[in-house]
Structure 1
Amino acid sequence: MIRNKILLLLAISMVVFVGCSEDYLETTPTDSISEEDALSSTENMDLVLNGLHRMMYAQNVLEGAESSRSGESYFIPSFDAIGGNTIHSSPGNGWMTSDLKWTTHTNASSTTNFNLWFQRYHFVETANTIINKVAVSDFVETEDLNKVLGQSYAYRAWAYLKLVSTFSKGYIIGTPSTDPGVPVLTEAGAPYEGGPRGTVEAVYTQMESDIDAAITYLKNGSAADNNSNISLNAAYGIKARIALSKGDWATAAESAALAREGYPILTEAQWLTGFNSADSDILPEVIWGGTVIDTETNYYQSYFYFIAFSFNGSLNRSNPKIISKELYDRLPATDYRTQGWLPLAPNTNSAASNDQGGSYETDPNYDNKADFDAAWEDIIETYGATTGHNTHPYMNVKFKPKNPGSIDPDDVIYMRSSEMVLIEAEAKAMLNDIPGAQDALNILGSARDSAFDKTAFTSQNSLMDEIKWQRRVELWGEGFSYHDNIRWDEGIDQTNSGASSTLYQAGFIQAKPSVNDDWIFKIPQREIDANPYMTDADQN
Structure 2
Amino acid sequence: MLRNIKYTLLAIAAFTITSCDDDFLETKPTDAISSSDAFATAENMALILNGLHRGLYSQSQTILPGGNTARAGEHYWVPMGDALGGGIIHSANANNLGWRTTAQWLDHTDQTSLTNEILWYHRYNIIASANAIINKATDGSIPEDARLKEIIGQAYTYRAYAYLSLVQHYAKGYLIGSPATDPGVPLLFSSDAPYTSAPRSTVQEIYDQMRLDVDTAISYFEGATSRPTGSAAGKSQLNIDVAYGLKARIALNSGDWRTAADAAIAARANYPLMGESDWKSGFNTTTLPEVIWGSNVIGTETTFFRSYFYLMCNTFNGSQNRNNPKIGDKRLVDAIPDTDYRKDVFLIDAPNTNTSASNGEGGWANNTNPLYTTEAEFDAAEVFYRDQYGWTSAHNEHPYMHVKMLQQNPGTIDPDDIIYMRSSEMYLIEAEAEAMLNNVTGAQDALRTLGESRDSAYDPTVYATQEALMDHIKFQRGVELWGEGFLYTDKIRWDDGIDHAANGGSGASEVLYQAGFQQDRPSINNSWIFKIPQAEIDANPNLSQADQN
Query: What TM-score results when the alignment is normalised by the length of structure 1?
Result: 0.97
Q: Choose from 356, 367, 372 the match for 2:361.
A: 356
What does residue 35 of structure 1 align with? 35
Question: 2:242 corresponds to which letter in structure 1?
Answer: A
Question: 1:349 corresponds to which letter in structure 2?
Answer: N
User: Which SS does the other structure have where 1:227 is aligned?
Assistant: helix
Whole-angstrom CA distance in 1 between matches of 2:40 and 2:471: 53
Post-superposition shift, 1:5?
4.2
Question: 2:78 corresponds to which letter in structure 1?
Answer: I
What does residue 428 of structure 2 align with? 422
Post-superposition shift, 1:192?
2.0
How many residue pairs match? The answer is: 536
Post-superposition shift, 1:219?
1.1
Distance 1:4 1:158, change over 3 A: closer
Post-superposition shift, 1:28?
2.5
Residues 80 and 478 in structure 1, CA contact (< 8 A), matched pair in contact too? yes
Q: Choose from 451, 457, 476 the match for 1:445.
A: 451
Q: Does 1:533 align with 2:535?
A: no
Residues 234 and 287 in structure 1, CA contact (< 8 A), matched pair in contact too? yes
Matches within 5 A, 1:173-322: 173-225=176-228, 226-279=234-287, 283-322=288-327
Identity of aligned residues (%): 53
Distance 1:18 1:213, change over 3 A: farther
How big is each residue's C-alpha offset from its partner over 1:123-175, in whole Å with a ceiling of 9 and x where there is no partner? 00000011111232421111110010000000000000000011000000000
What does residue 335 of structure 2 align with? 330
Whole-angstrom CA distance in 1 between matches of 2:107 and 2:35: 36
Whole-angstrom CA distance in 2 between matches of 1:443 and 1:251: 20
Whole-angstrom CA distance in 2 between matches of 1:157 and 1:5: 20
Whole-angstrom CA distance in 1 between matches of 2:108 and 2:511: 19
Post-superposition shift, 1:312?
0.5
Whole-angstrom CA distance in 1 between matches of 2:11 and 2:282: 34
Residues 510 and 517 in structure 2, CA contact (< 8 A), matched pair in contact too? yes
Post-superposition shift, 1:69?
1.1
Q: Choose from 391, 396, 405 the match for 2:402.
A: 396
Q: Does 1:436 align with 2:442?
A: yes
Question: 1:261 corresponds to which letter in structure 2?
Answer: A
Whole-angstrom CA distance in 2 between matches of 1:17 and 1:230: 22
User: Which SS does the other structure have where 1:14 is aligned?
Assistant: helix
Post-superposition shift, 1:94?
3.8
Whole-angstrom CA distance in 2 between matches of 1:127 and 1:179: 26
Whole-angstrom CA distance in 2 between matches of 1:413 and 1:18: 23
What does residue 24 of structure 1 align with? 24
Question: 1:319 corresponds to which letter in structure 2?
Answer: N
What does residue 92 of structure 2 align with? 90
Post-superposition shift, 1:75?
0.6
How big is each residue's C-alpha offset from its partner over 1:5-46, in whole Å with a ceiling of 9 and x where there is no partner? 413320012214641x33222222212111221111100000
Whole-angstrom CA distance in 2 between matches of 1:107 and 1:392: 32
Whole-angstrom CA distance in 1 between matches of 2:5 and 2:442: 51
Whole-angstrom CA distance in 2 between matches of 1:207 and 1:8: 24
Q: Choose from 105, 108, 116 the match for 1:105.
A: 108
Post-superposition shift, 1:362?
3.9
Residues 9 and 35 in structure 1, CA contact (< 8 A), matched pair in contact too? no
User: Which SS does the other structure have where 1:182 is aligned?
Assistant: strand
Question: 1:247 corresponds to which letter in structure 2?
Answer: G
How big is each residue's C-alpha offset from its partner over 1:71-120, in whole Å with a ceiling of 9 and x where there is no partner? 11111111110111111111124441111110000000000001100000
Q: Choose from 348, 351, 376 the match for 1:346.
A: 351
Question: 2:115 corresponds to which letter in structure 1?
Answer: T
Whole-angstrom CA distance in 2 between matches of 1:532 and 1:361: 59
Residues 432 and 473 in structure 2, CA contact (< 8 A), matched pair in contact too? yes
Q: Choose from 448, 461, 467 the match for 1:461.
A: 467
Q: Does 1:478 align with 2:481?
A: no
Residues 3 and 192 in structure 1, CA contact (< 8 A), matched pair in contact too? no
Whole-angstrom CA distance in 1 between matches of 2:170 and 2:493: 14
User: Which SS does the other structure have where 1:289 is aligned?
Assistant: strand
How big is each residue's C-alpha offset from its partner over 1:302-324, in whole Å with a ceiling of 9 and x where there is no partner? 11111111111110101111101
Residues 105 and 521 in structure 1, CA contact (< 8 A), matched pair in contact too? yes
Whole-angstrom CA distance in 2 between matches of 1:215 and 1:425: 23
Residues 360 and 367 in structure 1, CA contact (< 8 A), matched pair in contact too? no
Q: Using the TM superposition, name which of 71-80 and 175-184 deviates more.
A: 71-80
What is the CA RMSD across the aligned residues, in angstroms? Answer: 1.2
How big is each residue's C-alpha offset from its partner over 1:460-514, in whole Å with a ceiling of 9 and x where there is no partner? 1111111000001110000000000000000001111111101101100000000
Post-superposition shift, 1:198?
1.6
Residues 8 and 125 in structure 1, CA contact (< 8 A), matched pair in contact too? no
Residues 93 and 314 in structure 1, CA contact (< 8 A), matched pair in contact too? no
Whole-angstrom CA distance in 1 between matches of 2:327 and 2:197: 41
User: Which SS does the other structure have where 2:421 is aligned?
Assistant: strand
Whole-angstrom CA distance in 2 between matches of 1:77 and 1:504: 16
What does residue 11 of structure 2 align with? 10
What does residue 231 of structure 2 align with? none
User: Which SS does the other structure have where 1:440 is aligned?
Assistant: helix
How big is each residue's C-alpha offset from its partner over 1:369-414, in whole Å with a ceiling of 9 and x where there is no partner? 1111111111111111111000000001011100001011300000
Q: Choose from 483, 489, 496 the match for 1:490.
A: 496
What does residue 171 of structure 1 align with? 174
What does residue 412 of structure 1 align with? 418
Post-superposition shift, 1:4?
6.1
Q: Using the TM superposition, name which of 87-96 and 213-222 deviates more.
A: 87-96
Residues 194 and 532 in structure 1, CA contact (< 8 A), matched pair in contact too? no
What does residue 504 of structure 1 align with? 513
Question: 1:294 corresponds to which letter in structure 2?
Answer: G
Residues 215 and 232 in structure 1, CA contact (< 8 A), matched pair in contact too? yes
Post-superposition shift, 1:224?
1.6
What does residue 134 of structure 1 align with? 137
User: Which SS does the other structure have where 1:181 is aligned?
Assistant: strand
Consecutive unaligned residues of structure 1, counting only runs of 5 or more, are none
